[in-house]
Amino acid sequence: MKLAGNHTVKEIATLLNCHFLGNPNQLITGINEIHKVETGDLVFVDHPKYYQKALNSNATIILIDQEIACPEGKSLIISKAPFDDYNKLTKHFSPYIPQNSMIGEGCDIHPTANIYPNVFIGHRVKIGANVTLHAGVNIQDDVTIEENVIVGPNSVIGHYAFYYKKKPSGYDRMHSCGGVLIQKNAEIGALCTIDLGVSGLTIIGEGTKLDNQVHVGHDTVIGKNCLFAANVGIAGCVIVEDEVTMWGQVGCASDVKIGKGAVILGQSGVSKDLDGGKTYFGSPCGEAKSMFREMAAVRKLPSILEKL
């Protein structure tokens, strides 16, 4: 999430009632989680396991729970509860705004868009030329839909990211302040759900087609001309390159990268990076030819055991 205006480390630390290390006049230009962080951004870290990842990232300001040596050119804001203070910042700069109308504030809807009855459109939504939103579609805040996109009935675009921190009192949700971008000529089936980015964008690439009841998690980036059959479920922070095909009920874990042109057969489970240009099957999936040979060998085991 990029911030409007100039905000210094001293200003942000004062807002959080925290002390800081580094240049008090260093500017904060954005707030991002580690997967999306850029130079000028603030990121939070609250576990020693991830200190170095945060300190060595592109982030300029690190919201951290321990006072440690400050890297050159960066600033640290010391917080007793970085997750809570990060949430405080995102809610401050991107507050929840209740809505009791069918179209929110700050929207830009092209006059050629075909919007069926009972479509809900949140705040700051952009809808391009010749977009079709079928009945019951729910478009949440900060969604951009480019030209010629079709969204099927009762799909939800831009609901909260599924991102929680476990505490003794229960689960606290990370405040979502990102967005969704659906690029031109994409099609979204009926009853699909595409989650809002936590602080960046969830992206559905140009010409990509999603069947009914497909789920795409927060901050996932799907490339051009991909094809996902019904009941595919993609977790957060996944990168799917161009021209990938996933057949019915494929599931994909978070932080996975799937190479260009990969084909994943039905009911497969993706738990690690996959090279492009190959066909995969199984759970956890492997190259289809190898997996089929293993299945054939397993079927022969009973007869082999009978001969022993």
pLDDT 10s digits, 249-294: 999 999 999 999 999 999 999 999 999 999 999 999 999 888 888 8
| pLDDT for residue 301 is more than 90 | no
- Per-residue confidence band for 239, with pLDDT thresholds at 50, 70 and 90: very high
> Whole-prediction pTM value?
0.92
| pLDDT for residue 304 is more than 80 | no
In a domain, residue 33? The reply is yes
Domain boundary residue, one of 42, 70, 93: 93
pLDDT reported for residue 5: 84
pLDDT reported for residue 300: 80
In a domain, residue 308? The reply is no
41, containing H or E segment: strand 41-45
**Residue with the larger pLDDT of the pair 138 and 4:** 138
User: Number of C-alpha atoms within 13 angstroms, CB side, residue 81?
Assistant: 11
Shared domain for 150 and 176, answered yes or no, is yes
Shared domain for 157 and 112, answered yes or no, is yes
* Residue 136: C-alpha distances to residues 16, 77, 106, 133, 139 (Å): 40, 44, 21, 8, 10
- Nearest CA to 70 out of 81, 60, 80, 85 is that of 60
In a domain, residue 103? The reply is no
In a domain, residue 298? The reply is no
Shared domain for 240 and 116, answered yes or no, is yes
Domain boundary residue, one of 93, 123, 156: 93
User: Number of C-alpha atoms within 13 angstroms, CB side, residue 280?
Assistant: 29
Mean pLDDT of all residues in the chain? 94
pLDDT reported for residue 303: 79
Cβ pair 270, 250 in contact under 8 A: yes
Least confident range of 19-23, 53-57, 187-191, 299-303:
299-303
pLDDT 10s digits, 93-148: 999 999 999 999 999 999 999 999 999 999 999 999 999 999 999 999 999 999 99
| Helix boundaries (H) for the chain | 9-16, 51-55, 82-93, 288-306
| pLDDT for residue 308 is more than 80 | no
Shared domain for 147 and 271, answered yes or no, is yes
CATH code: domain of residue 119: 2.160.10.10
- Per-residue confidence band for 35, with pLDDT thresholds at 50, 70 and 90: confident
In a domain, residue 301? The reply is no
pLDDT 10s digits, 150-176: 999 999 999 999 999 999 999 999 999
Shared domain for 114 and 250, answered yes or no, is yes
Query: What's the rounded Cα separation, in Å, for the pair 143 and 125?
Result: 5
Shared domain for 161 and 194, answered yes or no, is yes
**Residue with the larger pLDDT of the pair 307 and 170:** 170
Shared domain for 89 and 157, answered yes or no, is no
pLDDT reported for residue 106: 95
In a domain, residue 102? The reply is no
Shared domain for 32 and 132, answered yes or no, is no
**Residue numbers of the domain that contains 82:** 2-93
pLDDT reported for residue 69: 87
The length of the chain is: 308
Residues identified as active-site: 218
Number of domains in the chain: 2
Cis peptide before 284 (omega within 30 of 0): yes
pLDDT reported for residue 298: 81
Shared domain for 138 and 171, answered yes or no, is yes
pLDDT 10s digits, 195-232: 999 999 999 999 999 999 999 999 999 999 999 999 99
